[in-house]
Amino acid sequence: MPTDTAPRVYLETLGCRLNEAELEGWARDFRRRGCRITAGDEPADLLVVNTCAVTAEAVRKSRKLLRRLKRAHPGARLVVSGCAASLADTDLGAGEIDLVVDNADKDRLVAIAADALALVPARPPDADADAAEALFARGRQRAFIKVQDGCRYQCTFCITTIARGDERSRPPAEIIHEINAVAAAGVQEIVLTGVQLGGYGRGAASPATPDLAGLLAAVLRETDVPRIRLGSVEPWDLPEAFWQRFTNPRLMPHLHLPLQSGADTLLRRMARRCRTDAYAQLVAQARAAIADFQVSTDVIVGFPGETEAEWQQTMAFVAATGFSHLHIFPYSPRAGTRAAAMPDQVPEPIKRERARALHDLGAALKTTALRTQAGRTLPVLIEGQNRDEIGAYAAGFTPGYLPVRLRQAPADSVGRIVPARLLGCSDDAQALEARLDDGTGGAMHRAPGHHTRAAQ
């Protein structure tokens, strides 16, 4: 276990939840080797950064983060991995970097660092080290569990296929062991992540590896972590038994299903494998099977050649679908992708105007989603303390991943699941105002619950 003289390691990530899952795995491995995980304002001996390259802006942010960390910790060694570090055409300022670990080797990053840098203890990992302590040290309450990596598809805007490589799926037993370890240490919610979650089972060492529905069945059967979520899931390749898994109240009723555009002509130019009619059917299927099911999505604004008519189709489709949250990405050319060489790049002023309009629509849809929950009592995982113009509150999320501000919560509520009476939308329309449910006497709950129609 770490001591006062243990090497101090600070970890940071940009980009997707898969990057976060990998970072959490490194944090656990560093602790098992006797290192101490530090917060951002503490001195550090070793800096570890998981970079992103999904857009040119993500690469710029990665480069900026590396410079900022080196200025804040001038004597620290710097280890860099992730997509930006794995692409040959990416300049991250190699003069400041002590070690680069390619995506293909990132699951062994801690061992590689131990071999290359005398700073990291090279002794065998301590299997008894607290699996969640590193997570809590970084102020996180939700554990991201990597189950899959790589993608076989080639969307024209995406660099991930090159940066992440072929599909690989982790063995179910390995995933379940990791979940049970963090759950035993007090983690209440885990998120299964991957590049192409719907393709889980492909690229596995064993032909007996199940599909995603089979993995979910195994996780539900062989773990007792109270809340299970899925990371971003592409709207295709979902196995037949997938929706049946949501009859178990431990599997949270929310999915992030990337749309990217509401115009089929644009989806074809993006080389997406799902058209709007199939996407609408998928959402309808989910909402018919699972009560209060929430869907969030990604939308790219100003993809090359996007006409005003195609843009209006996107706006109409987003409005009709009724998403609980939108991630909006103004398109920026990414070197190495087919879209970067496409003609008719959309001017920046048009992108900005379209992004503003979509942001306004997304805000209205989010407000609607929040208001539909008013008057209900739902279990909320408290993830931290915060403050707004009204005062202090405990911040958390409903099972459907809607943000909650719980007033006058007990000081020890962080990391616990509490019954919250949802009073209505906050004044800034960003969250649900809530209080502890009167009928419980303020008692804390470990077991969450939502109801599916199939279970009623």
pLDDT tens string 302-339: 999 999 999 999 999 999 999 999 999 999 988 889 99
Q: Mean pLDDT across the stretch 357-365?
A: 98
- 240-254 pLDDT, tens digit per residue, is 899 999 999 999 999
Task: Please state which architecture CATH assigns to domain 253-372.
Answer: 2-Layer Sandwich (3.30)
The β-bridge relationship of strands 99-100 and 168-169 is: unpaired
List, as one string, the DSSP characters of 321-362.
Answer: HT-SEEEEEE----TTSGGGG-S-PPPHHHHHHHHHHHHHHH
Q: Locate 27 and state its tokens.
A: 């944090």
* Higher-pLDDT residue of 32, 276: 276
Closest to 259 (Cα-Cα) out of 336, 365, 166: 365
Measured CA to CA, the distance from residue 437 to residue 456 in angstroms comes to 23
On whether the pTM is more than 0.75, the answer is: yes
For residue 31, the SS3 value is helix
Q: Locate 213 and state its tokens.
A: 């529905």
Whole-number percent of the chain with pLDDT over 90 = 71
CB burial of residue 385 (10 Å; 0-12, 13-18, 19+): middle
Q: Locate 328 and state its tokens.
A: 């909006």
Q: Locate 277 and state its tokens.
A: 């009619």
Task: Please state which architecture CATH assigns to domain 377-455.
Answer: Beta Barrel (2.40)
- Cα dist. 318→236, 269, 321, 401 in Å? 18, 19, 5, 19
Confidence band of 108 (pLDDT split at 50, 70, 90): very high
CB burial of residue 186 (10 Å; 0-12, 13-18, 19+): middle
Cα torsion angle, 163, 169, 173, 175, sign:
positive
* Higher-pLDDT residue of 126, 257: 257
Q: Locate 266 and state its tokens.
A: 């644009």
pLDDT at 456 over 70: no
Q: Locate 281 and state its tokens.
A: 């059917």
The β-bridge relationship of strands 417-425 and 432-436 is: antiparallel
pLDDT of residue 149: 94
pLDDT of residue 83: 93
Average pLDDT of the chain to the nearest whole number: 89
List, as one string, the DSSP characters of 372-430.
Answer: TTTT-EEEEEEEEEEE-SS-EEEEEE-TT--EEEETT--TT-TTSEEEEEEEEE-TTSS
Sketch the domain layout of the chain as residue ranges.
8-116, 141-234, 253-372, 377-455
- 381-390 pLDDT, tens digit per residue, is 999 999 999 9
pLDDT of residue 455: 31
Look at domain 8-116 and name its CATH class. Answer: alpha beta
**Matching CATH number, 141-234, of 3.60.15.10, 3.30.750.210, 3.40.50.1980, 3.40.50.1360:** 3.30.750.210
Fold equal for 8-116 and 377-455: no
